[in-house]
Amino acid sequence: MRSFPFLPLALCASLALPAFDAGAAAKRGDVPRATKQAAKRTAAVGESYAGRADAMAFADDIAARQNLNAAWVRATLGQARLLPNVPRLMLPAPAGSGAKNWAAYRSRFVEPIRIGAGVRFWRDNAATLARAERDFGVPAEIIVGIVGVETIYGRQMGSFRVLDALATLAFDFPQAHPRAAQRQAFFRGELENFLTQEGRTHADPTAPVGSYAGAMGMPQFMPSSIAKYAVDYDGDGRIDLVNDPQDVIGSVANYFKAFGWQPGLPAIYGVRVDAARAQLPVLLAPDIVPSFSADAFVAGGAQLDADGLRHRGLLALIELQNGPSAPASYVAGTQNFYVITRYNWSSYYAMAVLELGAAVRAAMAQ
Ligand SMILES: [Ca+2]
């Protein structure tokens, strides 16, 4: 199990911290917000990759592997420019740089502007959200929560040229990162995906913009996620995650289904933990991976609510820290909570999605 940072690599443009995902999933990284905002203000552009032997060799490799026109790939990659402020955004936050604080994190996402935009999005797309729930089993409020946390329903989708962002992270990933080789390989794969999609559709590869990690559109999908999970949900023959809410809704629902979303299963249950008595090291050891039966939870000193006691599958104890002085909060996460973290590897992110979705649903009823 990979550990996940507090301000996870959000790919989210709306976090001012674009997400990028680590391996098979979709997105995100770990970067202090202030740093990311500083970078956003100054989208400086550096050298072209046209003169970089490693980039041109990679272009030839892609062309051969993907059966693309080598001259087109070289010319396209030659238009990519280094984004000098982006590589350092990939470095993990320094140790001890601020206690995790769920209340502060939540307040950035569950707030009146985002809730109001969520109500409009839900009302405007109610039929499509209902159709997605029928087709994929994913409730409207989960999709509404995701799109709201990621981009405030398309208001903040990022303004970096995806070609520049991916080239920068593919060829100039910071070597000080503890998993630099793995991360760089990930972004090379994303760059290859991006160029392949652009080359096959004869699109302008310099046109797409997104987060500094190359995540695109209202749901902030990385190129590999677009290739694997995006769907044309309005049937117009093309996939448009920037302008078409129907495609966005279908694609997010399809992503969740692909990662094992179970229809009808709550994502969390309430749990009361007596920190002095509960076997916290045991219960927290598996992190967000559901590992304990309801009986084992109770035996470990974590008292589940009535619905949780009836749960037949496995559960994870999710700890949400509230800064250095306040006690932590806890919930019991199911398989569906785990699935939300496949979108962004963070329990804080998953909780924000759930609570924003619930807040929008409550506002709809008023
Ligand atoms: Ca479409």
pLDDT in tens, 139-176: 999 999 999 999 999 999 999 999 999 999 999 999 99
192 lies in the same domain as 214? yes
- The CA 130 to ligand 1 mean position distance, Å, reads 17
- The CA 127 to ligand 1 mean position distance, Å, reads 16
- The CA 342 to ligand 1 mean position distance, Å, reads 24
178 lies in the same domain as 310? no
Give the DSSP letter string of 231-261: --SS-SSS--TTT-HHHHHHHHHHHHHHTT-
Is residue 163, in this structure, part of any structural domain at all? yes
Is residue 302, in this structure, part of any structural domain at all? yes
Q: What is the pLDDT of residue 46?
A: 84
- The CA 59 to ligand 1 mean position distance, Å, reads 30
53 lies in the same domain as 200? yes
Pairing of strands 268-273, 316-320: unpaired
Q: DSSP 3-state helix, strand, coil percentages of the chain (rounded to 5)?
A: 50, 10, 40
Average pLDDT for 17-30: 34
Digit-coded pLDDT (tens) for 264-321: 999 999 999 988 889 999 999 999 999 999 999 999 999 999 999 999 999 999 999 9
Least confident of 36-45, 129-138, 148-157: 36-45
pTM: 0.88
Q: What is the pLDDT of residue 2?
A: 32
227 lies in the same domain as 316? no
Is residue 114, in this structure, part of any structural domain at all? no
76 lies in the same domain as 179? yes
205 lies in the same domain as 291? no
Catalytic status, residue 319: no
Q: For the chain, what is the domain count? A: 2
54 lies in the same domain as 166? yes
Is residue 94, in this structure, part of any structural domain at all? no
Is residue 200, in this structure, part of any structural domain at all? yes
* Residue in the structure block whose two tokens are 């000193």: 301
323 lies in the same domain as 274? yes
- The CA 159 to ligand 1 mean position distance, Å, reads 22
183 lies in the same domain as 247? yes
Which pair of tokens denotes residue 84?
């000098």
218 lies in the same domain as 245? yes
* CA-closest candidate to residue 36, choices 154, 175, 158: 158
Is residue 298, in this structure, part of any structural domain at all? yes
Is residue 3, in this structure, part of any structural domain at all? no
236 lies in the same domain as 277? no
Q: Hey, what's the torsion of the CAs at 93, 164, 245, 26, to 10 degrees?
A: -50
Identify the CATH number of the domain in which residue 53 sits.
1.10.8.350
Catalytic annotation, pick one of 47, 111, 141, 150 = 150
275 lies in the same domain as 325? yes
Is residue 221, in this structure, part of any structural domain at all? yes
- The CA 240 to ligand 1 mean position distance, Å, reads 6
Digit-coded pLDDT (tens) for 211-243: 999 999 999 999 999 999 999 999 999 999 999
- The CA 238 to ligand 1 mean position distance, Å, reads 5
Range(s) of the domain holding residue 325 = 268-333
Sequence letter at residue 2: R
Digit-coded pLDDT (tens) for 176-190: 999 999 999 999 999
